[in-house]
Amino acid sequence: MKIRQLLAFAIITTAVGAVAAQGALELRVGATVLARASMQSAPPSHVQVTAGDVERGYVDVDNVAYSIRTNSLRGAVLAFTPVGELAQQTQVTGLSAPVQLGAAGGVVSVPRVSTQPTQGTFTFRFYLPRDARPGQYPWPLQITAQPA
């Protein structure tokens, strides 16, 4: 193994020496920046469902702050994944337009408008199943970000 390394070093040294003797040396370097995206949000740990919410058929959760950061010129894609069975459907407002998510969740494209993070607040309307009961439920959505 050491003989191979010494041989490679000798070849490179000879090649660089030959180029340097001609008075010019050109070295090209390239780099690729991988696209990244992250999402920070502070939803409550639980959702309180009242008898009035059950009667109406939905519960609203307001003012959930978020911050989306991406280096992708195409923006980010947010994935909303239901956790548990609190909601049959979810309406999300706070992006460029309201988004309606089914029981399986969904994805939303968020354009990059600046090199700074995109910040705002979400409002969630969770549409309850017919057999819903008042009580405290764990937060029903996981939100993740990917580069677009």
Within-domain flag for 86:
yes
In a domain, 137, yes or no: yes
Examine the pLDDT at 144 and tell me if it is beyond 70.
yes
pLDDT tens-digit series, residues 98-110: 999 999 999 999 9
Q: Kindly report the CATH number assigned to the domain that includes residue 77.
A: 2.60.40
pLDDT at 17 over 70: no
Element (H, E) at 11: helix 2-21
Window from 8-17, 74-83, 104-113, 119-128 with minimum mean pLDDT:
8-17
Yes or no: say if 64 and 122 are a contact pair by the CB < 8 Å rule.
yes
Per the structure, the count of domains in the chain is: 1
Neighbours of 122 (CB within 10 A): 20
Q: Is residue 12 part of a domain?
A: no
The rounded distance, in Å, linking the Cα atoms of 141 and 45 is: 10
Give me the domain span that covers residue 92: 37-147
Instruction: Provide the strand spans (E) within 12-117.
Output: 37-41, 46-49, 58-70, 76-82, 89-93, 99-101, 106-110
pLDDT at 26: 79
Identify the band that residue 7 occupies on the pLDDT scale cut at 50, 70 and 90.
very low
Q: Is residue 71 part of a domain?
A: yes
Residue 14 has pLDDT above 50, yes or no: yes
How far is Cα 138 from Cα 87, in angstroms, rounded to an integer? 11
Q: Is residue 134 part of a domain?
A: yes
Q: In this structure, is residue 6 part of a structural domain?
A: no
Give the mean pLDDT of 122-141: 96
Per-residue model confidence as pLDDT tens digits over 38-84: 999 999 999 999 999 999 999 999 999 999 999 999 999 999 999 98
pTM, full prediction: 0.77
pLDDT of the residue at 11? 53
